[in-house]
Chain A
Amino acid sequence: MSADVTLEDVRQDAGLEETEEPLDLAPVQRIIESLGETKGMLIPVLQEVQKVYGYVPEEAADMVADLMGIYPSQVFGVLTFYTQFHLTPRGRHIIRACSGTACHVRGGKSVISKLEHMLGIGHGETTEDMFASFEKVACLGACGLAPVIMIDNDAHGQLDAVKTERIMENLREMDMMKRGE
């Protein structure tokens, strides 16, 4: 091994080192400054962190623990308790399909199969192009419109496989347009 090859280089060549740029953690600090560091603000703080990064990166969670004076284990305890927190990167769109009873008995399964088929992924997964993450969730509180899905913040109801296909095609188009800009 010649002198100008560092251990880092060896690691990188072997694929052992992340080559990605380090995460910009400045937003975490700003969030805590604006929301305050009382312990009761932990969940709102983590929700804002997730909004910034799309998920809660481990470094960000550690920083939250540090700045708020909470053990990292407590922060991870909270992160893993609530289903809406995610520790890995997620798609640009979050697609949640209701698997509750009212949706189930009104054909929810065909909507779910359609989504899984179109996206090519199952529950808790993200498409490779980061277009979307898919989740089957419990009752979304819109059972009058069963079967229901939520795309990001919007609920879509009274669906069947055909309507679902149309909605997903629109979403794909919008996503491509936005990315084209």
Chain B
Amino acid sequence: MKILTRNIDRPNPAHIDSYLVNEGYVALPRALNEMKPEEVIDEVKFSRLRGRGGAGFPAGMKWDFASRDRRKPKYIICNADEGEPGTFKDRVLIEKDPHAILEGMAIAGYAVGAEYGFIYIRGEYPVGARILERAIAEAEKRSFLGRNILNSGFNFHIVVHRGAGAYICGEETALIESLEGKRGQSRIRPPFPVNVGYSNLPTVVNNVETLASVAPIILRGGNWYANIGTHECPGTKLYSVSGHVRNPGVYELPMGVTLRELVFEHAGGMRENRTFKAAFPGGASSACLDESELDVRLDFNSLAAVGSMLGSGAVMVLDDTADMVKVAHVLIKFFEHESCGKCTPCREGLFWVRRVLDAILEGRGTEADLDLLLDVCEGIRSTSFCGLGEASINPVVSTIKKFRHEYMAYIRGQSLAESSMEEAS
């Protein structure tokens, strides 16, 4: 089922004419001419669309909160920071269907009463940033953006802001700090950005994929969308599949597909003569699943039920050549580096977790270190100021729980150090 990826295989897909061929910019005039802002919000509520940036918050509710706040101006921010390791689905939309994002933003702006939009795109996507800027210019020329859009009296302006390299800026309050020209450090929540966002004004922050789902919902109706996927998590999802599968890539599937189906039917299965060992179903900050969990459904609720999370839908698949201790080490080094430094548990805790893992990998670990790790990780999880610290320990905790024998092999000095994954290519 192709909703989000309906346009990406066209020739010259990013061009406005390619977008217009397939009902592009039909939803926006419909919303402006035939629907009141409240009706647009209701339609999104009927769809039960949940945010695709990680937390899965209902988009319609978020818009509703922002629309009820009477202060002006309001802002729509498209979160295109896509920093979660293993995630590369927003990039596809940005590069191949930028107008779907712009149309979704304009509809969101109309719904909540915002006249300004920002796209915060990670600095590592310079090509994507240029494509978005070109698309904005195209849309302005044809009056789909700018002043008095299609003579409706509604104004909506979008500006692209390039990030400067900081994973934490994907977190919505850190992103807003960064947009305001500051160091990207998270703010306390509540108050939430819907009330106190950019310049302390009402602000909707939505992920690229969330916004790209909006125009199809307005076009076909919330009920149509609500019937795709699972009841709690409707719609299609872009899964970024990477690692040891035969065909890594972005796959659009109804929400709730099982890990087994995604890996073996869509991503081509494991590489020759290799077997499935584990997968991180929601990027670097999710708890891993092992072979016994291949039939888990990849949606917000099903993954939460097994102690993991869907996050951004980045499914990192590992085969029997993977060394889980090294994988955990690579991931924790990432979070240690990206910790913004604001709070102690995350800043200091991750440093020590990494040090203990260093010791284990170097053969200096003891079995008691594993309990120490779990203890420190619990401290980080329960006391960190923001989601980065909170989720950062999931790969370590889950690999200790599910692959303890691999840690023990290092501790006993029997690790298959040489047969490790570096050789696997």
Listed in ascending order, the chain A residues whose CB lies under 8 Å from chain B are 39-44, 46-47, 74, 77-78, 81-85, 96, 99-102, 104-107, 109-110, 137-146, 150, 153-154, 160
Contact = CB atoms under 8 A, between A and B. Distances in A.
Contacts of A78: 181-183
Contacts of B265: none
Contact of B248 (A47, A107, A139, A146): A146
Contact of B240 (A82, A110, A143): A143
6 contacts: A46-B164, A99-B330, A101-B330, A107-B422, A137-B124, A144-B250
B350 interface: no
Given A110-B422, A141-B87, A143-B88, 6 more contacts: A39-B181, A81-B166, A139-B86, A139-B284, A141-B124, A150-B124
Contacts of B248: 102, 143-146
B124 A105 contact: no
B165 A105 contact: no
A96 B123 CA distance: 13
Contacts of B195: none
A111 to B, nearest CB: 9
Contacts of B82: 141
Nearest to B128: A141
Interface in B71-99: 82-88, 90-91
Contacts, number: 137
Given A42-B181, A109-B422, A144-B250, A84 B316 contact: no
A82 B425 contact: no
B406 interface: no
Given A44-B161, A109-B422, A146-B248, A102 B181 contact: no
Nearest to A160: B425
A165 B231 CA distance: 51
A42 B180 CA distance: 8
Interface of B: 82-88, 90-91, 122-127, 161-167, 178-184, 240-244, 248-250, 280, 284, 314, 316, 318, 321-322, 326-327, 330-331, 334, 337-338, 340, 421-425
Contacts of B321: 105
A101 B91 contact: no
Contacts of A100: 85-86, 330, 334
Contacts of B88: 141-144
A153 B164 contact: no
B6 to A, nearest CB: 20
Of B162, B164, B184, B240, most buried by chain A (CB within 10 Å of CB) is: B164
A106 B270 CA distance: 13
A166 B127 CA distance: 23
A63 to B, nearest CB: 16
Contacts of B123: 84
Contact of A82 (B164, B326, B424): B164
